[in-house]
Homo-oligomer: A and B are copies of this chain.
Amino acid sequence: MIETLRQAAVALTLAAPLLNVPAAAGEAGAPPMLGFSSTAAAAEREREARLDAALDPAEMRAWLERLAARPHHVGSQWGRANAEWLRERFASWGYEARIETFQVLFPTPVERALEMLAPTRFRARLEEPALAADSTSGQKREQLPPYNAYSIDGDVTGELVYVNHGLPADYEELARRGIDVRGRIVLARYGGSWRGIKPKVAAEKGAIGCLIYSDPRGDGYFEGDVYPEGGYRSRDSVQRGSVADMPIHSGDPLTPGVGATPEAERLPLDEVPVLTRIPVLPISYGDAQPLLAALGGPVAPETWRGALPLTYHLGPGPARVHLRVRFDWSLAPVHDVIAVLPGATAPDEWVLRGNHHDAWVNGATDPVSGLVALLAEAEAVGELARAGWRPARTLVYAAWDGEEAGLLGSTEWAEAHAEELRAKAVAYLNTDSVTRGFLGLDGSHSLERFANEVAREVADPQTSVPVLERARAARIVGAADDEARRRLREEPDLRLGALGSGSDFTPFLQHLGVAALNFGFGGEEQYGQYHSIYDSIDHYLRFGDPRLDYVAAAARTGARLTLRLAEAEVLPLTLERAAAAIGEYVGEIEKLTGTMRRESEERARLLADHTLELAADPTRTFVPPPALDRVPFLELAPIQNAASALAAAAVRFETARAAAVERGLEGATRAELNAFLRGFERRLLLDSGLPGRPWYRHQIYAPGQYTGYGVKTLPAIREAIEFRRWDEANAQVVVVARLLDDARAAIEAMTAKLGG
């Protein structure tokens, strides 16, 4: 292995000049730095070099081993102890550190039972055994058993139906075969979307219970050797996780929109909109196999079949199961650790950097790996501060509690501090798991150029080229077509993915309009033990990032992002790509209607000429799909014009800004410019929120109502179209176009002030 590594390093050192990319940090001929004069940039790079030197791998490993030593879910003793320990660390490094505690609804299991009653009897194990090769797996007394948080209590018996990923399109396939889940219990496999969508759709379709299992096709032996031989999911391992309806809102189910302080008004349990409608339980493939093997009915479509050694049938029945779950619905405390380093010249401008500290069990990968990177960064920044330096703006480091259950800690804190954040927040920088591999970057497009600049200056631990170039290489190799490859090669910057949900950026970005970036490393780990007791120290040090090289790389990346945002004379948020991305989303919307229109027409043809019936096997049930209503041409002109004008205004703004910076900005103008940039993301919010889910206010980025983590850009318009609500789509076009027009007017006003 080492030999191979050395060879690669030699090859890549040779390759670097050919790549024609800026040298990684530390080399001569420094490139310009966004928002910094060349003098200031030199000072900043000097600080970053000291910061890199301060990182201590042995200490990082010790922290990982401490934080993941015991189970530390919401309300646990070790979670509380970790919070205290974290606060002390921050305090010892010179931060104003405190714990902010909220009281949230956090159900834990009292009873979990699953048995098959017919055609044979089988009782599901529902337990993950301790492994000799995994030193923390035996901490049974402290572990939360496998369950899905925010499932309702339930005791149901019914025939089983296999529903693939349990998404709306899967139920279409079942309907084609005459299969209805009403009054039945569905068995869905993990994957295809966020888990919370599965019971939501199942309940909408009339199911009375929902089982979710980890097929070995997803993260088990199909992908690689299972733990402890390899890192992938073993037979009895179960993925825990929240199934609250997070696309409605994140955070405490009882206190939407406000911090879950002791005095906050709380919804009665029976009025909580985000709980599931039916009982849900996650199971292992060891427990799922007898159930699947007992199903009759049609053979599942090819893409539905997993890697178990059996023929996947759909049912319904003859498998008949009894599911019983009951929870303790108490409140529990979440302990957010907040560490502040006040800014010297702009204390009311906050740069926020966060990672959660709670885990489903020991969580060495999720979240401790990312948290350790944040700590290493914070300690190194603290050292700079102890040597007398102060950031211009205020740094706020946060270790969130309760992320796993639904972004509880971050959401409650953001809601509790909403006014202050609206006024002061510059950006929120998030990490979560970090493992060996490639840089991942998603976020507000106003941060795209900045994030690329930083990624160009951090060296990849294994190959020594910039992490940006390694990420680019992976994207080129995985590109869908020539056009995508060409763009990846020719555009200097990698595009950011748009943010949906799944980690703590959501309340900042989508509820409050704080520009957000989510970054991390991964892709070369063997990570098949997500949310099980085997996401452990032993697992991470063998299969995650054995030398914590990428934890260190994440610290170097995070430190640059944080410090540069804190120190920049002019904030490094840029509007050109932000506006261009909106224009591209408008283009996608138009294309989507075209695709849906052709699909409706094709459906009509297939129905009219009976092609589907003729192609179907007459000995099997086949129910033709319903006709689709005609897709009208939408009145997109307002948003097309708005996006086009916004893009042009953004270009003029950036030209004017560059000229003004070149000329030299006087203090008041600079302050006004920074305030404008800080507040720009807020201009993309509507106070009324998205249709049907007012908590989500961002009009460009939101998690999809049927994707969960997956983003829907221009969500109000896009989802109206996807749900075939044509009038609503047209109405939302007008609403969002007006918002974009307002944003453009603000840009133009600022441009004028800059003399553009």
Contact = CB atoms under 8 A, between A and B. Distances in A.
A314 to B, nearest CB: 13
A311 B225 contact: yes
Given A614-B469, A614-B470, A230 B12 contact: no
A618 to B, nearest CB: 4
Chain A interface size band reads 35 or more
Contact of A614 (B225, B463, B605, B615): B463
A308 interface: yes
A613 B8 contact: yes
A616 to B, nearest CB: 8
Interface stretch (A385-393, A473-481, A643-651): A473-481
A310 B524 contact: no
Contacts of A616: 8
Contact of A230 (B4, B311, B485): B311
Contact of A615 (B11, B310, B474): B474
A111 interface: no
A5 interface: yes
Contact of A473 (B223, B225, B478, B615): B615
Given A311-B221, A610-B12, A613-B12, A619 B1 contact: yes
Contacts of A263: none
Contacts of A27: none
A618 B309 contact: no
B309 A216 contact: yes
A635 to B, nearest CB: 27
Nearest to A610: B15
Contact of A4 (B309, B462, B619): B619
A739 interface: no
- So how many copies of this chain end up in the complex? 2
Interface string A11-23: 1100100110000
A11 to B, nearest CB: 6
Interface in A587-626: 598, 602, 605-606, 608-621
A685 interface: no
A228 to B, nearest CB: 14
B309 A462 contact: no
Contact of A11 (B5, B598, B608, B613): B613
A307 interface: yes
Given A5-B619, A462-B618, A598-B482, A221 B609 contact: no
Contacts of A477: 606, 611-612, 615
Interface in A643-680: none
Contacts of A627: none
A224 interface: yes
23 contacts: A1-B619, A5-B618, A5-B619, A9-B618, A12-B610, A12-B614, A15-B610, A15-B614, A18-B609, A18-B610, A216-B309, A221-B311, A222-B311, A232-B311, A307-B309, A463-B618, A465-B614, A474-B614, A476-B611, A477-B612, A482-B602, A485-B602, A524-B619
Interface of A: 1, 4-5, 8-9, 11-12, 15, 18-19, 216, 221-226, 230, 232, 299, 305, 307-311, 437, 462-463, 465, 469-470, 472-474, 476-478, 482, 485, 489, 524, 598, 602, 605-606, 608-621
A-B pairs, 5 with minimum CB distance: A473-B614, A15-B610, A477-B615, A309-B309, A473-B615
